[in-house]
C-alpha cells in the first residue's frame, strides 16, 4: 500500500507496519492508519473521481488502506443517496438540510462500509473466517458481506439484539452466539474466541481498518455536495467508531485539498447511555454507563472507540446532544413523513439531535446541516409499531369507512 505510511497508536504514538491483521497497540490504545497525503495528492484529483462510474465506497481507493490488487468486495456498499430535505428544514426552522440515507446499503446499515473493508483485509490476510461482536448491524453487515465473498463468520450478539437482526444474519449463514449479558460481556467472549481460534477480527475497537471503511460516508457526503462544506454533520454515536471514521474522511479530504474547511460534528447519543458525550461535556475521562435506551445500535455503555470519537468531536469544535427514547421515535416519524426515509431508532438519533439543538438555541438556524441516517427502520419494527400505534380498522364497506373516518376526525 504505497498510500499508507504506517499505523500509529492514538494513545502512545507507537508506530506499526500496516499489515492486514493489525490489532491494538501493546499499550492497549487503538491504532490509526497514517496516509502519505503528498503521494495521494499527486495521483488523485476531483476530475479523476468525477469520471468514475463505480457507485460504491471503492471509488475512493486512493484514500483507502487496501492493496491495489485487492478486489472490490462483492456487494454494492456505499454511494448511498444524499437527499436535500427542504420540507424538513422548514419544519425544523433550519436554512438547509440534507439527509444521507445509509439504510439502503446491502444489509441496510452504514456498518456495511466497515464490513466490506473487513472482508477486503481478511482476504489480504489470507483468512477464511471472520468474527465479531455486535449489537446487530455490524454483525449482519459482516455476515452478508462475508457470505457474498465466500467467507465463514462467527458472530457474538448480546441477548437483547432484535430478532430481526439475528434472523438476518442467520440467513447469511453465520454461526451466531447469543450471549447472555451486556454488549461488554459479548465483546469479551468474542475477543477470547478470536484469540483462541485465530479468526480475522472485525471488532471495530480492535481493527483499525474498519473506521477507514466507515470514513467513506464522509467522502461521499462531500463529493455529493460538490465539495461545498456544510456547517455541521450530525450522526448518532454508540461505540464511537462511526463518528471517528466520518471525521477521518473529512480530514483526509482537507489534507489533500479537496475541501477548504472542515464541518463541525454533532454527536447525538441516547439520554439513557451517553458515555462519550458525557466525557466531552465534562472534560473528564469517559466512564462506563448503563444501557438504557431502545435505540439498540447505540446502546453501548462501554464504548471501545471512545478515544477516537472524543478527539474527533473536540477537534471539530463539535456539539453534543442527548435524546430521550420519545424524542428519537418522534424524529423517526418526522423523517418518514417529510422525507420518505425510514430510519431505525439509532439511525434517526442524529436528526433528533439537530431538532433539539435548534430548540435549545445551540445550533444557529442559518446553518447548513447534513444528517446521517445510519440504519433502516425495518431493522427494528417492534419499536416503530409501538410508537405508531394501530392503523384504522374497517370492514370492506363504504358506510363503515365513512363512520371510521368521522370517528377518527379524518376528512378527505
CA distance 155 to 136: 10
60 near a copy of itself (CB under 8 A): no
CB count within 10 Å of CB 201 equals 27
> Is the CB of 26 or the CB of 51 nearer to a copy of itself?
51
CB-based contact 161:296 (threshold 8 Å)? yes
* Contact status, residue 256 vs residue 37, Cβ threshold 8 Å: yes
Pairing of strands 129-133, 200-201: parallel
Q: What's the CA gap between 336 and 281, in Å, rounded?
A: 31
From the CB of 333, what's the least distance to a copy of itself, in Å? 6
Which of 114, 166, 237, 265 touches a copy of itself by CB under 8 A? 166
Question: How many residues sit in the footprint of a copy of itself (CB under 8 A)?
Answer: 82
x/- letters, 197..216, toward a copy of itself (CB under 8 A): x-x-----------------
Binding a copy of itself (rule: CB under 8 A), the pick from 32, 101, 296, 327 is 101
Among 65, 106, 213, 218, binds a copy of itself (CB under 8 A): 106
- Specify whether the CB–CB gap between 6 and 25 falls below 8 A: no
Using the 8-state DSSP alphabet, how is residue 22 labeled? -
Residue 276 or 300 with smaller CB distance to a copy of itself: 300
Kindly tell me which residue out of 154, 200, 247, 286 binds a copy of itself, with binding defined by CB under 8 A: 154
Given 40, 189, 225, 358, the residue binding a copy of itself (CB under 8 A): 189
Sheet holding 129-133, edge to edge: 152-158, 129-133, 200-201
**Residue of 17, 196, 285, 366 interacting with a copy of itself (CB under 8 A):** 196
Q: Any contact of residue 150 with a copy of itself (CB under 8 A)?
A: yes
345-384: which residues touch a copy of itself (CB under 8 A)?
A: 376-379, 381, 384
Return the residue of 332, 349, 351, 367 that touches a copy of itself, per CB under 8 A: 332
Least distance in angstroms from the C-beta of 339 to a copy of itself: 6
The three three-digit cell numbers of residue 376, written as one number: 433502516
- Per the CB < 8 A criterion, the answer to whether 341 and 335 are in contact is yes
Listed in sequence order, the DSSP H helices in 79-110 are: 86-92
42: left (phi over 0), alpha (psi -120 to 50) or beta: alpha
Closest CB 20 distance from a copy of itself, rounded Å? 20
Burial of 324 (0-12, 13-18, 19+ CB in 10 A): middle
Cell numbers 469479551 correspond to 188
Binder to a copy of itself among 44, 58, 60, 83 (CB under 8 A)?
Answer: 83
CB 253 within 8 A of CB 228: no
* Minimum distance of a copy of itself from residue 31's CB (angstroms): 26
The number of angstroms, rounded, from the C-alpha of 256 to the middle of its chain's C-alpha atoms is 24
How many residues would you count in the chain?
412
Binder of a copy of itself out of 192, 326, 365, 406 (CB under 8 A)? 192
Name the residue nearer to a copy of itself (CB basis): 70 or 383: 383
| Binding status of residue 398 toward a copy of itself by CB under 8 A | yes
Q: Residue 388, interface with a copy of itself (CB under 8 A)?
A: yes
We find the least distance from the C-beta atom of residue 373 to a copy of itself, in angstroms, to be 11
Amino acid at each position: 500500500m504505497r498510500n499508507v505510511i504506517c499505523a500509529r497508536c492514538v494513545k502512545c504514538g507507537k508506530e506499526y507496519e500496516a499489515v492486514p491483521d493489525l490489532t491494538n497497540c501493546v499499550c492497549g490504545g487503538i491504532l490509526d492508519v497514517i496516509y502519505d497525503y503528498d503521494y495521494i495528492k499527486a495521483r488523485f484529483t476531483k476530475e479523476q473521481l468525477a469520471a468514475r462510474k463505480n457507485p460504491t465506497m471503492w471509488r475512493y481507493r486512493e484514500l483507502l488502506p487496501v492493496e491495489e490488487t485487492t478486489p472490490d468486495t462483492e456487494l454494492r456498499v456505499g454511494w448511498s443517496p444524499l437527499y436535500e430535505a427542504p420540507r424538513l428544514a422548514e419544519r425544523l426552522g433550519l436554512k438547509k438540510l440534507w439527509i444521507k440515507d445509509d439504510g439502503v446499503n446491502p444489509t441496510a446499515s452504514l456498518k456495511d462500509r466497515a464490513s466490506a473493508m473487513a472482508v477486503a483485509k481478511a482476504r489480504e490476510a489470507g483468512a477464511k473466517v471472520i468474527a465479531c461482536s455486535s449489537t446487530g448491524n455490524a454483525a449482519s453487515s459482516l455476515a452478508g458481506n462475508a457470505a457474498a465473498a465466500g467467507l465463514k463468520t462467527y458472530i457474538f450478539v448480546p441477548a437483547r439484539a432484535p430478532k430481526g437482526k439475528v434472523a438476518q444474519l442467520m440467513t447469511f449463514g453465520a454461526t451466531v452466539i447469543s450471549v447472555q449479558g451486556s454488549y461488554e460481556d459479548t465483546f469479551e467472549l468474542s475477543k477470547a474466541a478470536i484469540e483462541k481460534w485465530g479468526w480475522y477480527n472485525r471488532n471495530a475497537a480492535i481493527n483499525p481498518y474498519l473506521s477507514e471503511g466507515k470514513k467513506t460516508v464522509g467522502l461521499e457526503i462531500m463529493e455529493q455536495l460538490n465539495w461545498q462544506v456544510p456547517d455541521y454533520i450530525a450522526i448518532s454515536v454508540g461505540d464511537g467508531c462511526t463518528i471517528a471514521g466520518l471525521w477521518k474522511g473529512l480530514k483526509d479530504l482537507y489534507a489533500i485539498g479537496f475541501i477548504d474547511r472542515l464541518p463541525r460534528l454533532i454527536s447525538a447519543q441516547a439520554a439513557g447511555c451517553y458515555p462519550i458525550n458525557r466525557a466531552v461535556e465534562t472534560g473528564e475521562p469517559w466512564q462506563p454507563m448503563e444501557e438504557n435506551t431502545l435505540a439498540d445500535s447505540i446502546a453501548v455503555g462501554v464504548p471501545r472507540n471512545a478515544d477516537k470519537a472524543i478527539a474527533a468531536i473536540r477537534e471539530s469544535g463539535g456539539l453534543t446532544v442527548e435524546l430521550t427514547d420519545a424524542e428519537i421515535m418522534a424524529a423517526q416519524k418526522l423523517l418518514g413523513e417529510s422525507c420518505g426515509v425510514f430510519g431505525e431508532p439509532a439511525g434517526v438519533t442524529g436528526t433528533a439531535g439537530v431538532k433539539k439543538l435548534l430548540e435549545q438555541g445551540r445550533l444557529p438556524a442559518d446553518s447548513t446541516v447534513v444528517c446521517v441516517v445510519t440504519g433502516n427502520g425495518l431493522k427494528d419494527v417492534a419499536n416503530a409499531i409501538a410508537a405508531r400505534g394501530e392503523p384504522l380498522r374497517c370492514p370492506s364497506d363504504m358506510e363503515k369507512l365513512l363512520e371510521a373516518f368521522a370517528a377518527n376526525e379524518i376528512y378527505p
